[in-house]
Each structure stands twice: as C-alpha cells, then as structure tokens.
Structure 1
Amino acid sequence: MDRSFHYLLMATQGLFQRQVMAELAGAGLTAGQPKVLDYLGLHDGSVQKDIALGCQIDPATLTGLLNRMEEKGLIQRRTEDGNRRSLHVYLTQLGWEKQREVRRTLDQLEQRVLSGLDEKQRAYLLEGLLRVCKELIDVEVLQ
C-alpha cells in the first residue's frame, strides 16, 4: 500500500464512504444523501449555498441531490421572510428518521474504525485532520 499522504487520505475517505453506504444499504439512500442528512441534522433550515459548503459538494451537484431527496420525501424547501431567491431546506419527519439512522451508523463505524487507537492517538489524528482541512480551505479561498 502506498504510504503517501494523498493516497492514504483518498483511500481512507473512499473506504469509509463505501462502508457507510454498505451499512445503510437497507435505508434506500444514495451517495451524498447521508452527508446532507447529517449536515441538516445540525443545521436544519439551511440555505443550499451553506449546505454545499458544509458538505463540500458542488452547488450544481447539490441541486440534483436535493431534488431526489425532495422526491423521496426526506426534505422540503421553503422560502422565509418573503425572500423568494433563497430556499431553506428542512428535514421532513421521514428525513429526521433517516438522519438518526445515518448518525447511528456514522457513530458506530467511527467507534469501530478508531478502536485500535488510544485516546492520545485519536486526539492527534483529529487535530491533524482539522489542520489539514483548514489549510485546504485557506488554499481554496486564495485561488
């Protein structure tokens, strides 16, 4: 296995994502939907621009994803304060049920994956990933 940073980061993300989708196979969710449900669980009523940023999803891709989620009855989009230009996205009752299932799955998988690390190693890993994220955000903003 390649031990370079870029390979390990991409491989880890891909493996984790595949495992999440395998665990949620019976939930009727497609790729990208668990991430949006998880985000909305913390930020219900967000505008699409904030969801795209928070989930690191291209806005055009997110529009299609939200359309499919709305068709499945997971979300609803509403205007607020008479502003027709920005739609706020809310979880429906079914959406909240799926969000809780996603959250349980993510928590269980995280616990399983990190079980081989002690508390200090976990803290270092999370701090390192946070720093990498911040650096990448800074680089993206400068471009």
Structure 2
Amino acid sequence: MTFHYLLMANQAIYQRRLMEVLKDTELTTGQPKVLDYLRDHDGATQKEIAAACYIEAATITSVLNGMEAKGLIERKRLNGNRRSFHVFMTGKGQKLEQRVHEIFLKLEEETFEGISQEKREEFLELFSKIHRNMIPSE
C-alpha cells in the first residue's frame, strides 16, 4: 500500500471512529479538535484556532458558531480590539473537553495496541518529521 492511501484511509477511519464514540455529545466534525486545542490555549483568537486545527478561516466561523450555540464557548473582544475575537470555553465546554480528551487518549491506546512503547515512540518521531516536511514554508 502507498503512503497516500494509508494516510487517507487511517485518517478517515480514525475520524469516523471518533465521531461514532462522540455521537451522544452532538459535536460535529472539527469541534472536538477545537475543544482539544482550547484545553491548552483558552482565549486564543479565531485565527490562531483555525491555523492550529488546520481549518479554513471561513469554516472556523461556522464551527465556532455551532459551538457557541451549544453553550460550549464564548467569544470576547479583548483590549478594545474590534477586529478579533478571543474564544473561551464555558464550564459546559470544559466538562465536555475533559470527556473528549479521555476519548482521544482511549482511541490512541486502541490504535497502538500490540505495538511496543519503543516502536510507538519511533513512529511518532517519524510521523512528526513527516508533518514538519508537509507544512508549507512561508
């Protein structure tokens, strides 16, 4: 099998499995990774979230609108800046993020089942290098 096929197939399978496990949360595609990002970057701007989560600027607005409607986040303008919103998790969002984080860890363990810690670390190191190679240089 080719790298392209394996990468695309694994991403699709992982995404489908994640959304299946999260179906009772009513989260839609893109929202779990935004919650995960906000876990360590609460108060980030929409632009920062879009870049970190690899979501197009036009799409992040829709993703965040849905999250705001569900009471998971709130957007605020800080320091009189009228051009950018900062995004904060609500208490409800923080509780759901904890669940999402636990599910991410569980799926990761399932994904690496039967693979030694050494091989897992090797894989993550190589996959990180591939990731860096794929990031467009500015």
Specify if TM > 0.5. Answer: yes
User: What is the DSSP-based 3-state SS (H/G/I as helix, E as strand, rest coil) of the residue aligned with 1:90?
Assistant: strand
Question: What is the CA-CA distance between 1:30 and the residue it aligns to?
Answer: 0.9
Matches within 5 A, 1:14-53: 14-53=12-51
- CA distance in 2 between counterparts of 1:86 and 1:22 reads 34
Unaligned runs of 5+ in 2: none
Identical-pair percentage: 44
1:141 aligns with 2:133: no
**1:97 to partner: Cα distance:** 1.0
Report SS of the residue matched to 1:65.
Answer: helix
Number of residue pairs matched by the alignment: 138
Q: Aligned equivalents of 1:104 and 1:120: distance in 2?
A: 23
Question: 2-side partners of 1:13 and 1:68: how far apart?
Answer: 23
> TM-score, normalised on structure 1?
0.93
Q: 2:63 aligns with which of 51, 62, 65?
A: 65
**Letter of the 2:126 counterpart:** G
Coordinate RMSD, CA, aligned: 0.9
TM-score scaled by length of structure 2: 0.97
Q: Which runs of 5+ in 1 are unaligned?
A: none
Q: After TM superposition, where is structure 1 displaced by more than 3 Å over at least 4 residues in a row?
A: none
Question: Secondary structure at the residue paired with 1:86?
Answer: coil
